[in-house]
Amino acid sequence: MERNNIHSLAGQKARLNHRIGLSFWPKTDFRARKAPSTLRVVCLRDTTAAAVTGKSWEKLVLNSDTPVLVGFYASWCGPCRMVHRVIDEIATDYAGRLKCFVLNADSDMQVAENYDIKAVPVVLLFKKGVKLESVIGTMPKEFYIAAIERVLAS
């Protein structure tokens, strides 16, 4: 019998913070087949940007040995959603070489003010606690990648 590898349960997509592989029988004719006795879940790596707050800022961003990308957003901002999707892709592409976070500028205004964030979306890149690059507004993925490569090369 053939098994499918899927990332959703019962046809519903789930937003996950880790890429996982689930193996089980296809949905069609599932009553006629014996269910697998075990379900193996393997966490490969972070595939989305985690949230950072004012309380965790120093620990996760400033004290990181790995370069860090932080996307500043607001819940009401449409372009921020597009940038967030790009940041999630970058988190997957650069896993292990770059940490990716997002920060709600409305909830953590003090951090946004410290970095002179006047509008969103804004992406800042840090290395060893120092801000090296900033990207203001919605840009193509290649624009963010060029900034990331400059930070990684420095």
Residue 122, Cβ neighbours under 10 Å: how many?
Answer: 22
Residue 101: beta bridge partners?
50, 70
Handedness of CA 9, 11, 12, 17 (dihedral sign): positive
- pLDDT grade for 147, boundaries at 50, 70 and 90: very high
77 among known catalytic residues: yes
Q: What is the pLDDT of residues 52-80, one digit of tens each?
A: 999 999 999 999 999 999 999 999 999 99
Q: What is the pLDDT of residue 144?
A: 97
> Which one is catalytic: 49, 61, 70, 77?
77
Going by C-alpha positions, the residue among 96, 97, 98, 117 that lies closest to residue 54 is 117
- Look at the pTM and tell me if it is higher than 0.85: no
* Domains and their CATH numbers in the chain: 4-45 (no CATH), 48-153 (3.40.30.10)
Going by C-alpha positions, the residue among 96, 151, 97, 95 that lies closest to residue 123 is 151
Instruction: State the DSSP string of 75-116.
Output: TT-HHHHHHHHHHHHHHHHTTTT-EEEEEETTT-HHHHHHTT
Three-state DSSP state, 136: strand
Measure the CA–CA gap between 10 and 26, rounded to whole angstroms.
10
> Which one is catalytic: 52, 68, 80, 87?
80
- pLDDT grade for 45, boundaries at 50, 70 and 90: low
80 among known catalytic residues: yes
Tell me how long the chain is: 154
